[in-house]
Amino acid sequence: MPGAFTNCQKRKSDRLKARVEAICSTLSHEERLAVVKRTNAWATAMIVAGFGCFIGLTAGLWHLLRAEALRFGIGSACMCWFGSWRLFAEAKLILNFDEEQEHPSESEENEEVA
């Protein structure tokens, strides 16, 4: 069973890398940095929305459920918090792609010379 989970993660990671390469291959350095900035802003907004969801749901259900309301608040906020991880990972992949485009490795430069 652990192998299936790892394969699923690998497929998702490969799809994300392919998506980032498809999007970023036509963008300039400045445009890629703007995309990274916007993606990080969206991820941060999701974290803030998660806190708002946690506070709002917990406060709204507190009069009915008391401490049990914390479970619902945390459970609903986790979707926003965990969803932001993907956006942060996407921004990191874009930065890595940008670094590869701006500073190709020495092996690639040697191949071009030969």
**What is the mean pLDDT of the segment spanning 67-92?**
95
**Percent of the chain predicted with pLDDT > 90:** 67
pLDDT at 3: 64
Contacts 24+ apart (CB under 8 A), 47-51: 47/80, 47/81, 47/84, 49/80, 50/77, 50/78, 50/79, 50/80, 50/81, 50/84, 51/77
Average pLDDT in the chain: 88
Q: Say whether pTM exceeds 0.85.
A: no
How many residues in total does the chain contain? Answer: 114
pLDDT at 39: 96
**What is the mean pLDDT of the segment spanning 58-74?**
95
pLDDT at 106: 53
The tokens describing 31, both together, are: 């445009």
**Percent of the chain predicted with pLDDT > 70:** 88
